[in-house]
């Protein structure tokens, strides 16, 4: 449905302009649909100004057509502006570090404001920033409420009450302490605001003291009282201008949702799940809200969660029914929850959680240049960051689950590809071991968690063991035994879904964006470091190497934050096992390819990024359809290797045959759509042959042009040739798509 195109062109359809997009793993996910395949019910809601949305048609065998696209790159002017602003802040931060030289006092920045910063910026930078902001406002103006308005025109309206459960770090945290010296921050946000950034710079020690929980109890430290902000304002924007849930809230409002039939269930993401109930009675209040909605509306509610919020919902399902906890009984979920929308849920954890807790590092910091790292280290060193994160037990809930059975070993991993040089299963490869504090061999995921517990402080080790578990229950008896163990409730491989036959689960997540999968570790270069292990940022691989390694971080498939294995395994395979899903709850998966627009810093309407996907138009449409009681319109769409990967995971058991039969794009055997697509085989082979010819021609051109040139010239020529080659491939793929569409019309 191209309603925006019709609206903007007087009711006439118009072909949107060609937009260069970046699909970071294009060879796996070309976007050309096959002839004869079923048109998806998820309508395109991208306006002409924003460009076309890719039609991810169910039943397409995407691996056969290898369409390649241009990687998004910021313009040189914009890159220069960002570099200049970053340099200015870097100079300020570096200057602040030399407090003992009296170059400047931290008190000087106590009243720092955006206006004072703008006063010292060159006019050119300010103008460029203003132009970018203007373009963003124009894009937002044409895009806001578009999905909701279109679905309202279709006749969709608010049906089931909606409760949204945000992810980690999404909720703002406010200070409610009245003791000195934190009294000056009363009701100010120390997380999720510009005030947070200023406080981090001007009063680092007190900010750190406020955000860290007590290491022994996992609750508030003496004299500190930080609480989660409440209401829609708690999660709609992280800081001014950076939306998170705002677009979903806008579109829900368009079809009739408001504070009387929708709610944001914000929570303090620093707390362990058990302490969420102990300190804030979070799950008790959530249960009461749900019961009130069901009682007043007569409808079961729809739960919409994102990232860590999906783990919170899964834990809630166990808590609410358990005797001595929620006391709801075995039918509570069946009687109160109609749908569970799991958006980018880290059901099996996040790889980046291990290095974050081990050494305070993630790719976000490992990739910073030396100057930026210098300023960052002066305020929050690796040791500081590791200490802060360890004192937030909620962060530890996202450690990878399933051990070597899911994540692989030193020689193998289920998500390895045939041409990989190294396995993802060697999660932590040791490169330099100067003080013999590191293991003698490479670490698996399970070995990394064991090493972290063995080498960390007792308080941290006790917190992990008391609250979380990372194994696999291989039998139904083990699963049943875990029903009474709260530390198991966050792990879907050790506990089961509730017995709720009418519940519907929807898994929506992005793919096609490089994501942290494994690491190279070494001993710290500084002999005085309190850490035993750090990422070896000297390790890099050449362009095109599989897997790609960037400053010690080995990249895999996912949405930029959560790996495909974590986001997709339970949805496509794990919850097909009877012991994990005894009521045979229907689970529908819809994958969305990451195709960011070149000049949109948030990726545009086709992004698959972990956070930015909340603004993706097709995702918003699916959320609204489920809430409006039209979830059956959504057709399961799996375009990644997740089904193949799931078959390789070393977990077995009895499965629900009807769910496996309903799966689309299953790797073994044909689906109902395959027969209709077989007549496309010959054209696919022709396209593959053209791609091979393009590759050979490109290699020949590069080889001839590289002789006698410097390394920099070679790299620049390579990039130019790649751009030309990929543009040609895009044009050919577009032409083929047009031909396919014409063939489909003739067939119809």
pLDDT single digits (tens) 610-648? 999 999 999 999 999 999 999 999 999 999 999 999 999
- Indicate if the pLDDT at residue 390 is higher than 90: yes
- Indicate if the pLDDT at residue 110 is higher than 60: no
Which pLDDT score, from 0 to 100, does residue 94 have? 47
Q: Are residues 425 and 413 in the same domain?
A: yes
Which two structure tokens, joined as six digits, stand for 746? 């003739």
Residue-averaged pLDDT of the chain: 78
- Indicate if the pLDDT at residue 428 is higher than 60: yes
Per-residue pLDDT averaged across 658-662, rounded? Answer: 65
Better-predicted residue by pLDDT, 248 or 114: 248
Q: Are residues 248 and 359 in the same domain?
A: no
CB proximity list for 438: less than 8 A, separation 6 or greater: 430, 521, 522, 523, 532, 533
What does the pLDDT look like over 665-709, one tens digit per residue? 443 333 434 433 443 444 445 445 544 554 454 444 434 444 455
- Indicate if the pLDDT at residue 455 is higher than 80: yes
Q: For residues 523 and 572, is the Cβ–Cβ distance under 8 A?
A: no
Per-residue pLDDT averaged across 473-497, rounded? Answer: 96
Could you tell me which of 188, 224, 182, 234 has the C-alpha nearest to residue 203?
182
Residue 475 CB burial class (10 angstroms; 0-12, 13-18, ≥19): exposed
Rounded Cα distance between 50 and 698, Å, is: 32
Coil, helix or strand for 476? helix
Which pLDDT score, from 0 to 100, does residue 126 have? 54
Residue 261 domain flag: yes
Q: For residues 354 and 361, is the Cβ–Cβ distance under 8 A?
A: no
Rounded Cα distance between 198 and 381, Å, is: 18
Better-predicted residue by pLDDT, 192 or 428: 428
- Percentage of the chain surpassing pLDDT 70? 67
Rounded Cα distance between 322 and 317, Å, is: 9
Rounded Cα distance between 459 and 391, Å, is: 9
Q: Are residues 548 and 566 in the same domain?
A: no
Strands 237-239 and 337-343: unpaired
Residue 705 domain flag: yes
**What confidence category does residue 215 fall into, taking pLDDT thresholds of 50, 70 and 90?**
very high
Range of the domain at 741: 3-73+674-747
Domain ends where: 635, 667, 699? 667
**Sign of torsion over alpha carbons 526, 527, 528, 532:** positive
Rounded Cα distance between 473 and 476, Å, is: 8
Residue 206 domain flag: yes
Rounded Cα distance between 500 and 495, Å, is: 15
Q: From residue 590, give the alpha-carbon distance in Å to each of 2, 431, 508, 672.
A: 20, 39, 5, 18
Lowest average pLDDT, out of 4-18, 364-378, 439-453, 624-638, goes to 4-18
Q: Write phi, then psi, for 154 (nearest 5 degrees).
A: -75, -15
Give this prediction's pTM.
Answer: 0.74
Residue 85 domain flag: no
Q: Are residues 456 and 565 in the same domain?
A: no
Catalytic residue set: 307, 559, 610
Taking the CB of residue 740, how many other CB atoms lie within 10 A of it? 18
Which pLDDT score, from 0 to 100, does residue 123 have? 60
Which two structure tokens, joined as six digits, stand for 686? 């022709």
Per-residue pLDDT averaged across 427-435, rounded? Answer: 87
DSSP state of 239: E
Q: For residues 371 and 378, is the Cβ–Cβ distance under 8 A?
A: no
Taking the CB of residue 578, how many other CB atoms lie within 10 A of it? 16
Q: For residues 574 and 659, is the Cβ–Cβ distance under 8 A?
A: no
What does the pLDDT look like over 261-318, one tens digit per residue? 999 999 999 999 999 999 999 999 999 999 999 999 999 999 999 999 999 999 999 9
Residue 653 domain flag: yes
CA–chain centroid gap for 513, Å, is: 10
Could you tell me which of 127, 131, 133, 144 has the C-alpha nearest to residue 49?
144
Which two structure tokens, joined as six digits, stand for 20? 């260069």
Q: Please count the structural domains in the chain.
A: 4
The domain spanning residue 162 has which CATH number?
A: 3.40.50.1820
Q: Are residues 580 and 616 in the same domain?
A: yes
- Indicate if the pLDDT at residue 227 is higher than 80: yes
- Indicate if the pLDDT at residue 319 is higher than 60: yes
Which pLDDT score, from 0 to 100, does residue 517 have? 96
Domain ends where: 555, 570, 586? 555
Q: Write phi, then psi, for 717 (nearest 5 degrees).
A: -65, -40
Which pLDDT score, from 0 to 100, does residue 353 have? 93
Per-residue pLDDT averaged across 338-344, rounded? Answer: 98
Q: For residues 526 and 534, is the Cβ–Cβ distance under 8 A?
A: no
Taking the CB of residue 180, how many other CB atoms lie within 10 A of it? 8
- Indicate if the pLDDT at residue 155 is higher than 70: yes
Per-residue pLDDT averaged across 356-373, rounded? Answer: 68
Q: State yes or no: cis peptide before 99, omega within 30 of 0.
A: no
Q: Are residues 423 and 292 in the same domain?
A: no
Coil, helix or strand for 190? strand
Taking the CB of residue 394, how many other CB atoms lie within 10 A of it? 23
Q: For residues 311 and 397, is the Cβ–Cβ distance under 8 A?
A: yes
Q: Are residues 727 and 680 in the same domain?
A: yes
Report the first-to-last Cα separation within the chain, whole angstroms: 18
Which two structure tokens, joined as six digits, stand for 291? 């019961």
Rounded Cα distance between 532 and 722, Å, is: 42
Could you tell me which of 593, 572, 590 has the C-alpha nearest to residue 581?
572
Among 236-240, 317-321, 548-552, 715-719, the range with the most confident prediction by mean pLDDT is 317-321
- Indicate if the pLDDT at residue 576 is higher than 60: yes
Which pLDDT score, from 0 to 100, does residue 747 have? 53
Q: Are residues 588 and 700 in the same domain?
A: no
Q: Are residues 678 and 712 in the same domain?
A: yes
Q: Are residues 327 and 244 in the same domain?
A: yes
Taking the CB of residue 371, how many other CB atoms lie within 10 A of it? 13
Q: From residue 326, give the alpha-carbon distance in Å to each of 264, 283, 312.
A: 20, 8, 14
Coil, helix or strand for 397? coil
Rounded Cα distance between 398 and 310, Å, is: 11
Q: From residue 579, give the alpha-carbon distance in Å to each of 131, 322, 468, 524, 608.
A: 56, 18, 20, 45, 32
- Concatenated DSSP letters for 591-643? EEE---BTT-TT-GGG---TTGGGG-HHHHHHHHHHHTT-GGGPPPB--SSHH
Q: For residues 250 and 147, is the Cβ–Cβ distance under 8 A?
A: no
Residue 343 domain flag: yes
Residue 702 domain flag: yes
Domain ends where: 193, 228, 263? 228
Residue 411 CB burial class (10 angstroms; 0-12, 13-18, ≥19): exposed
Q: For residues 335 and 287, is the Cβ–Cβ distance under 8 A?
A: no
Residue 427 domain flag: yes
Q: Are residues 357 and 390 in the same domain?
A: yes
Rounded Cα distance between 184 and 202, Å, is: 13
Could you tell me which of 173, 264, 167 has the C-alpha nearest to residue 224?
173
Q: Are residues 534 and 416 in the same domain?
A: yes
Could you tell me which of 382, 435, 450, 442 has the C-alpha nearest to residue 411?
442
């Amino acid at each position: 449905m191209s309603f925006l195109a019709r609206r903007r062109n007087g009711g006439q359809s118009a072909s949107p302009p060609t937009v260069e997009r970046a699909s970071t793993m294009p060879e796996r996910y070309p976007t050309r649909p096959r002839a004869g395949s079923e048109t998806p019910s998820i309508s395109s809601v991208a306006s002409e100004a924003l460009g076309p949305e890719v039609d991810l048609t169910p039943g397409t065998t995407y691996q056969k057509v290898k369409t390649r696209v241009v990687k998004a790159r910021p313009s040189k002017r914009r890159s220069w502006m960002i570099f200049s602003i970053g340099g200015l802040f870097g100079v300020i931060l570096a200057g602040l570090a030399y407090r003992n030289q009296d170059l400047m006092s931290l008190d000087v920045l106590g009243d720092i404001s955006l206006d004072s910063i703008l006063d010292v910026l060159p006019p050119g930078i300010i103008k460029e920033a203003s132009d970018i902001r203007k373009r963003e406002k124009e894009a937002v103006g044409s895009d806001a409420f578009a999905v909701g308005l279109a679905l309202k025109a279709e006749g969709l309206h608010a049906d089931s009450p909606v409760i949204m459960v945000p992810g980690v770090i999404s909720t703002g945290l406010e200070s409610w302490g009245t003791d000195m010296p934190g009294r000056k921050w009363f009701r100010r946000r120390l997380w999720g605001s510009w005030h947070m950034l200023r406080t981090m710079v001007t009063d680092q020690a007190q900010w750190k003291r406020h955000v860290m929980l007590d290491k022994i109890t996992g609750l508030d430290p003496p004299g500190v009282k930080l609480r989660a902000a409440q209401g829609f304002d708690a999660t709609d924007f992280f800081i001014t201008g950076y939306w998170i849930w705002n677009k979903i809230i806008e579109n829900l409002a368009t079809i009739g949702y408001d504070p009387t039939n929708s709610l944001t269930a914000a929570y303090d993401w620093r707390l362990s799940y058990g302490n969420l109930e102990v300190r804030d009675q979070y799950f008790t209040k959530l249960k009461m809200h749900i019961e009130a909605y069901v009682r007043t509306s007569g409808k079961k509610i729809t739960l919409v969660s994102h990232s860590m919020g999906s783990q919170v919902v899964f834990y809630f399902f166990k808590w609410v029914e358990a005797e001595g906890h929620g006391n709801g009984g075995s039918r509570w979920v069946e009687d109160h929850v109609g749908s569970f929308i799991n958006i980018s849920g880290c059901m099996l954890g996040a790889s980046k959680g291990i290095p974050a807790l081990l050494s305070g590092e993630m790719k976000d910091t490992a990739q910073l240049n030396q100057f930026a790292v210098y300023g960052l280290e002066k305020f929050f060193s690796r040791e500081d960051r590791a200490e802060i994160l360890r004192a937030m037990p909620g962060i530890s809930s996202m450690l990878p689950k399933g051990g070597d059975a899911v994540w692989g070993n030193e020689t193998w991993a289920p998500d390895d590809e045939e041409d990989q040089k190294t396995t993802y299963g060697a999660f932590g490869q040791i490169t330099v071991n100067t003080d013999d504090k590191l293991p003698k061999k490479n670490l698996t995921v399970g070995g990394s968690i064991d090493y972290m517990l063995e080498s960390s402080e007792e308080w941290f080790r006790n917190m992990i063991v008391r609250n979380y578990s990372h194994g696999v229950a291989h039998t139904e008896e083990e699963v049943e035994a875990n029903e009474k163990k709260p530390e198991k409730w966050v792990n879907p491989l050790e506990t089961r879904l509730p017995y709720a036959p009418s519940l519907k689960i929807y898994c929506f997540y992005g793919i096609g964006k490089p994501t942290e999968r494994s690491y190279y570790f070494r001993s710290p270069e500084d002999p005085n470091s309190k850490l035993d292990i750090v990422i070896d940022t000297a390790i890099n691989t050449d362009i095109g190497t599989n897997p790609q390694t960037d400053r010690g971080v080995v990249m895999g498939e996912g949405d930029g934050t959560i790996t495909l294995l974590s986001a997709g395994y339970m949805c496509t395979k794990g919850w097909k096992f009877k012991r994990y899903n005894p009521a045979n709850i229907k689970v529908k998966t819809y994958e969305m390819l990451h195709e960011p627009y070149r000049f949109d810093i948030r990726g545009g309407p086709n992004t698959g990024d972990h956070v930015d996907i909340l603004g993706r138009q097709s995702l918003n449409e699916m959320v609204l359809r489920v809430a409006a009681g039209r979830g059956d319109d959504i057709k399961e769409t799996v375009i990644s290797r997740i089904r193949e990967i799931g078959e390789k995971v070393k977990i077995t058991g009895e499965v629900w045959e009807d769910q496996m039969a309903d799966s689309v794009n299953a790797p073994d055997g044909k689906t109902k759509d395959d027969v209709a697509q077989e007549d496309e085989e010959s054209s696919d082979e022709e396209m593959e042959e053209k791609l091979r010819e393009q590759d050979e021609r490109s290699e020949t051109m590069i080889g001839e042009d590289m002789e006698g040139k410097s390394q920099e010239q070679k790299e620049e020529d390579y990039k130019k040739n790649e751009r030309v080659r990929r543009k040609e491939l895009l044009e050919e793929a577009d032409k083929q798509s047009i031909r396919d569409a014409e063939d489909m019309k003739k067939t119809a």
